[in-house]
Structure 1
C-alpha cells in the first residue's frame, strides 16, 4: 500500500512540472502581448504622427506651387526630423521604406496626375522594425507601418479669417468667370467715394464686424477672430473709414501705425507693388495697365524664401496679401436696420491678392484694389460636401483609401 502511494506521488510531481511549464508558456505569451503589443502601438502612433506631419507640410508646399521633387525632399526631411526627436529614436525610417504618391483625387491614387489641378499627396512608410522583448521567442518580428493623405478641402461654407469688406457678386458663374469675376483681373474691394459702388449710398463695401474704426483697423490687419456663415446675411458698415482701413491693410506691407505692431500682425514676405498703380474713376471703373500680378508675386516670393529675392523681401509670412472677401448679392438689399446699415445675402467667399497699399487719407479718393485669384487657404472653417477648386479652402488630412488604419 505504501509503495503504491509513493508511485502515485512521483506521478503527480511529474504532472505538476508539466502544468507549471505550460503555465509559464502562457504567462510568457501574455507578457509578449502586454509588453510587445503596447510597445508596437506606441511606436505606431509616433510613426503616424510623423507621417501626418510630413503629408500636411507637403500639401502646403504643393499648394504654394512647389514642384514634386522639392516636395519629396521635404517629406524625407520632415519624417527624419520627427523620428529624430526625443522619444522617437527607435523609429529608424530608411528612404526606401517611404512611398510618395501624388493625385488630383484624394480617393484615388492610381490614375494620372496633373500638377496644375488640385493636388493631394499620399505618404506611406512600411515595415519599420522595432525591438522585440518576448515575441522573438515565438519567431515573430515586430514591424509598424503608417500612411497619410493630405490636400485641399472642399470649398468653405463657414469661414473664420475673412476681412470686413465685401464685393458685389453675380447670382451665377459663367464659363470664364466666378460669380462675375474674372481670374487675373483687378477689382476695387473698397470704394473711395460715393457713386463708385453698387451698394446703397453711404456704403463703401465695408462690413460691420464689431463697432468703431478700431475694429475695422484690427480686422483688416488680420485680427478678426469671428466667423462668417454663407447661409447668413452680411451687415454693412456705413462710411469710408479711410484711415483705419489703410492702417489695417498696410500692415501686410510692413507699414505700422496706431496700436498695430509687427509682432501681432507680421507683414507679407514680399511687399513689392506694381510700377503703375491701379486707379478708379468716379463711376467705379478700374484701370490697371501694369502686367505685374499674383503669379509674379508667387515666383518672386520663392526667392524671398530661399534668400535670392530682391529688396522687396521682408521677414514676414507668405501670402499675407491674399484676402478672403465675402461676395454678396447687392441686388437684394435690406435696409430695415436703419442708420444706413444694409443687409446683403452672402453668396460665396472670393480670394483676392492685395495688389498695392491702401490709401490712408481721402486725398484722390482712391479705392482698395485686389486681383481676383482662383482660390486661397483659410485658417479655420467648415467645408461643404462637394469638392470645388474655386473659393476659399483649407489644407487637411484625408482617410487613406489604400489603408483602413489611417
Structure 2
C-alpha cells in the first residue's frame, strides 16, 4: 500500500483544482488540500470567456498547438505529449461536461456557462474528499526534513509534497513566498491587453466589430489577423490581443507608445483591393459615394474612413479621381493609429513572466533543485494567445504535476 502523504495545492484556480483532482485520483490514500488566498475559488474560471469559459481550442496537432504560446512553447511539447487537447475533451466528457466547438476553434461547454465547469470541479472535490481552505494566503514556503513547512497568514501547516498553482502574478513580489527556494524568476508583464488610443477619434465607433482585420505593429515583424473590436478606449478583439501577447516585452520596453497599422480588408493587399474597388466603382458609377459602399465593412466605419481622408461624398463614384481612389485604397489596407497605453482585463489578466522555465523539469513539472515541489499554469513563464490556449496549458501542466512523479 502507498504511504499516506500530505499534498498541499497552493492556489484554488483552474490549475489548482485540476492538479488536486489528478493527485487524489491517482493517490487516493493521500490527503490533498487546496489553499486559496481569497474568499472564492475558481474566480477566473467564472468570468473567463465572457462567463462561458473557453476551456480549450480545437488545435489537435501538438506541433500546431505550441505555436500559440509566445513563451514556453518548446517546454510545453513535453507536457502536451502527456495530456493534449484530445485528452482535455475526453476528461470533461468522462466527467459529464459536454463541449462544443465554435467556427473559430474555441471550445466551450454546451451550456455556454462557466458554472458548469466550476460545478464539475467542486463535485469531484467533494466525491474525492479534497479539502478546500479559503482566505489562506501563503507567506512562506520552506523545505523541511519531511517535505515542506507552509506559513500562512493565520496558521501553519506541513506537506510532504507541494503543487504551486498560483496563476499569473501582476508583480514579482507575488512570488515572495518562494524566496527561501532561490528560484530564478522572470519579471511579470501583461500579456493580453487592449490598445488605448486617447488621441484617436476612431474611439467614437465603439462597439463596431470587423470580423477579419489584419493588424501590424509598425516597425516590427509582428502581424496578426482576426476579429477587431473598437472600444471606447481604443481597439481590442483577437487581432489586437494576439499582437499584445507576441509583443508583450517589446511593447512594454516602448512604454506602450507605438503605432498600429490596420488592414480593414484582412489579407487583401493594395493591388487586389484596387482591382476589386475598380470593379465595384464601375458597377455603381452613377451612385453617390455617400449612398453606396463599395467594400464589405460596417457602415459607420466606412463613413468614418471617408471623412478621415476628406473624400467629397456628394460626388458620384464615376467622379472619383485617381488621387482620391489611391487615398481610399491606402486607408482601407494601411490605416494607422497611435497607441498610448494599455488596458488589462482585471481578474482575467494574463501575464508573461513568472518562474523561469529552466528551473522546471517539464516531464514531471517538478523543480529541478527541489524534489517534491511542482509548478503549474501561468505562474510559470508560460502564456498563450487568446482562444482557450491558456486554459489548455493549465490543464496539461496540472495533469502532469498531479502525477506527483519524482
* TM tier, smaller: under 0.3
* Structure number having the greater helix percentage: 2
Larger Rg: 1
TM-score by length of 1: 0.26
Higher relative contact order (CA 8 A, sep 6+): 2
TM-score by length of 2: 0.26
